[in-house]
């Protein structure tokens, strides 16, 4: 009597192939659904403005897509109390919150704080811890050598102490980011929390007076978050704007400086079209009168 085969994978290769296919299909479905990622960033700008930047994205494979209209609450140290702000992400998937003055006493009471992000009753982020820190940027020059000095201090036991081994960028703020002041892309503070960089960017275009915006930036440090210090220095080349160039009648000028030949062509086309329409209308009127 022939036995009924109710399990089709009696041989090992077929079973392994089936398991592999199911695993591959599961991964593809998970990749299509994507994974929602919520990040929080702390920024201290010039030791005066402190804010939190929340970022919400959907990760599908290697592609990150911003998610808008996502609502969150951020608390300081304790969920349910010390509310910092209610946030809703914009079209870029980001939302910004400033630490309110009402929490100044709580902020000053400790050298280290935890930020908690809630989505409804769910804790999305609960381990984002920041140690208070500050950054300064100074300039100096002697014998034709110009230096940038950046210092980072952190608070410990209610005292400011040097922060060693902090990596940062030091240079000039440009449209594409920070142009390094020296030969290295990043610099690290020494045991005194200080670093000195020689400014080697000669003849760099500045504003109309020759000012450059110098920047020292610690970006997403695991202890301090992002620290930014800015300072203007008259180390650039003054930019001169030739307004006479824009006063000429060229294709890239304003409408009041349109070239005459272009005006002639445009008005000729307009008069030609309207003239033809008026002529046709008059001919139609004449034909109706003759028919009457």
Confidence (pLDDT) at 6: 46
Mean pLDDT score, 205-219 = 92
Inform me whether the pLDDT recorded for 7 exceeds 50: no
Residue closest to 226 by CA, chosen among 50, 20, 60? 50
Question: Within its chain, how far is the Cα of 198 from the centroid?
Answer: 28
Q: Which residue ranges form the domains of the chain, and what is each CATH number?
A: 33-131 (2.60.40), 133-233 (2.60.40.10)
Mean pLDDT score, 271-289 = 91
Confidence (pLDDT) at 254: 75
Higher model confidence: residue 60 or residue 14? 60
Confidence (pLDDT) at 30: 45
CA distance 225 to 150: 17
Confidence (pLDDT) at 197: 95
Confidence (pLDDT) at 280: 93
Mean pLDDT score, 25-34 = 54
34, 56, 64, 238, 272 from 61: Cα distances, Å: 7, 16, 8, 47, 58
pLDDT tier for residue 245 given thresholds of 50, 70 and 90: low
Q: Which class for 106: exposed (0-12), middle (13-18), buried (19 or more C-beta within 10 A)?
A: middle
CA distance 40 to 58: 15
Confidence (pLDDT) at 98: 94
57 forms beta bridges with 37, 66
145 forms beta bridges with 142
Confidence (pLDDT) at 223: 93
């Amino acid at each position: 009597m022939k036995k009924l085969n109710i399990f089709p994978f009696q041989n090992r290769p077929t079973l392994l192939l089936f398991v592999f296919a199911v695993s591959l299909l599961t991964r593809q479905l998970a990749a299509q659904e994507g994974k929602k990622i919520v990040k929080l960033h702390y920024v201290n700008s010039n030791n005066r403005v402190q804010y939190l930047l929340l970022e919400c994205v959907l990760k599908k494979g290697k592609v990150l897509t911003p998610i808008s209209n996502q609502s969150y609450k951020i608390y300081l140290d304790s969920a349910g109390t010390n509310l910092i702000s209610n946030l809703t992400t914009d079209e870029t998937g980001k939302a910004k919150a400033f630490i309110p003055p009402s929490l100044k006493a709580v902020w000053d009471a400790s050298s280290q704080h935890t930020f908690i992000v809630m989505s409804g009753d769910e804790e999305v982020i609960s381990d984002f811890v920041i140690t208070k820190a500050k950054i300064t940027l100074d300039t100096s020059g002697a014998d034709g050598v110009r230096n940038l000095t950046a210092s980072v201090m952190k608070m410990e036991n209610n005292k400011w102490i040097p922060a060693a081994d902090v990596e940062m960028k030091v240079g000039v703020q440009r449209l594409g980011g920070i142009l390094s002041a020296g030969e290295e892309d990043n610099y690290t503070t020494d045991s005194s929390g200080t670093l000195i960089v020689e400014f080697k960017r000669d003849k760099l275009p500045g504003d109309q007076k020759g000012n450059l915006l110098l920047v020292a930036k610690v970006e997403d440090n695991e202890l301090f978050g992002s620290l930014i210090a800015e300072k203007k220095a008259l180390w650039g080349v003054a930019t001169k704007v030739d307004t006479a160039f824009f006063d000429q009648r060229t294709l890239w000028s304003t409408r009041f400086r349109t070239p005459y030949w272009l005006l002639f062509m445009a008005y000729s086309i307009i008069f030609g079209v309207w003239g033809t329409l008026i002529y046709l209308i008059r001919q139609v009127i004449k034909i109706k009168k003759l028919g009457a």
